[in-house]
Amino acid sequence: MEFRIEHDSMGEMQVPADKYWGAQTQRSYQNFRIGNEKMPKEIISAFAFLKKAAALANFRLGKLDEEKLNAISAAADEILAGKLDDNFPLVVWQTGSGTQSNMNVNEVIANRGNAIAGKKLLHPNDDVNKSQSSNDTFPTAMHIAAVFEIRQKLIPAAESLIAVFKRLEDENAGIVKSGRTHLQDATPIAFSQEISGWRAMLETSLEQINIALPGISRLALGGTAVGTGLNAPKGFAEEAAKAVSELTGYDFQTAPNKFHALTSKDELVFMHGALKGLAANLMKIANDIRWLASGPRDGLGEINIPANEPGSSIMPGKVNPTQCESMTMVAVQVIANDTAVAFAASQGNFELNVFMPVLIYNFLQSVRLLADGMESFNIHCVSGITANKDKMRHNLYNSLMLVTALNPYIGYENAAKTAKLAFSENISLKEACVKLGFLTAEKFDEVFHPEEMI
């Protein structure tokens, strides 16, 4: 491998000749050989938007000339296009402020910008990092990345799943089945009503996510090192947030209190709480579906789900609810990530939180897993659900809890006696009720209508 010499304030470093990063990136790359978890690509893209926006703000405020603006913008655009992906080698387990990833981006933009300009034009600190500090850029990149992934991936995936549940409600109108509470038989429910509960869970999760969006749309940029805005020109914070909005197409605002924005991560905690709520709802929905589909002969068997893969290496013909299992595992990971996010956010010491890389790594993993998981669950499972009407009817009419319909006519205690006799002698509710002398066969038929109990 060929190398070139780069320098920083600590001296010279050998850097691979085919990479655009500089000395500070190389130091971090060599000093933190920990794990395989790289700084998320979403953060690098957010930094590209941020650096281009900061350059625009500095240009508009007369602090950066047009030639440098164009060079920074061109390099940032190449990052966003994925052309420089192999120039960001740093792991999550680095400085807790994310300084080294900020400098990684600064160095790559400076060196690539200089290559585009054909001369030594940009300095990573003086130009690309102008009016900024790692302490305000990394939390800003966190918020930009979070908003992007939630708006572009998570919300559309949830909305698509909601739409399929709405379709299933319409398709299954009029089908009545046994309800279940405590995993035991309960009074009847329409299958469309059961599906509507799943749909409403997702809609509620989306409402909660939308409530949390304004908080993570506030940017720390302009606070610089400790929140005072040292070395940033007046109006930079507002101008930079405006530029981020212009470049991304989403509405961002400058954080009203930069001291809060640098040290507190409560807005990300609040949003991740909504993500955890979504995960909990998806866990419940996926479990309901796999239990309703259990069997195919010796389980509930009330619904059919797509058969996607062979389910066993030893049992021929076995097919398992693999998409449900995948979705529930995603939920487990997201719920676990919530602990990491909350604990990392609790570690803001004085003017800065230094657990930011691990926080955003877990946060973005949750968003990515939920979005991908819902899309897969939707395409390969939910969209193919059909009702097993015969099994639903069989289970409904064999449910002892239909006896609840008799309460107004024979009373709760007599209804309980009827259910117990039917169960112990394996006879119908009608036979038990007539045998006990509570109703005639004719009166039973007159008042007993399970389909009307929904």
Alpha-carbon span 14 to 33, nearest angstrom: 17
What is the residue-wise DSSP string for 284-311?
Answer: HHHHHHHHHT--SSSS---EE----S--
Pairing relationship of beta strands 218-219 and 253-254 according to DSSP bridges: parallel
312 is a catalytic site residue? yes
CA 387 to mean position of chain CA atoms: 30
Instruction: Please name the residue that has the structure tokens 């006896």.
Output: 403
182 is a catalytic site residue? yes
Spot the catalytic one: 97, 192, 272, 312.
Answer: 312
Alpha-carbon span 99 to 25, nearest angstrom: 10
What is the residue-wise DSSP string for 44-82?
Answer: HHHHHHHHHHHHHHHHHTTSS-HHHHHHHHHHHHHHHTT
Q: Which two tokens stand for residue 337?
A: 């990530």
Contact present, 256 and 288 (Cβ < 8 Å) = no
Residue 334 neighbours by CB under 8 Å, 6+ apart: 275, 276, 278, 279, 366, 369, 370
Spot the catalytic one: 9, 182, 313, 424.
Answer: 182
Alpha-carbon span 366 to 285, nearest angstrom: 18
| Amino acid (1-letter code) at residue 442 | E
Residue positions annotated with a catalytic role: 182, 312
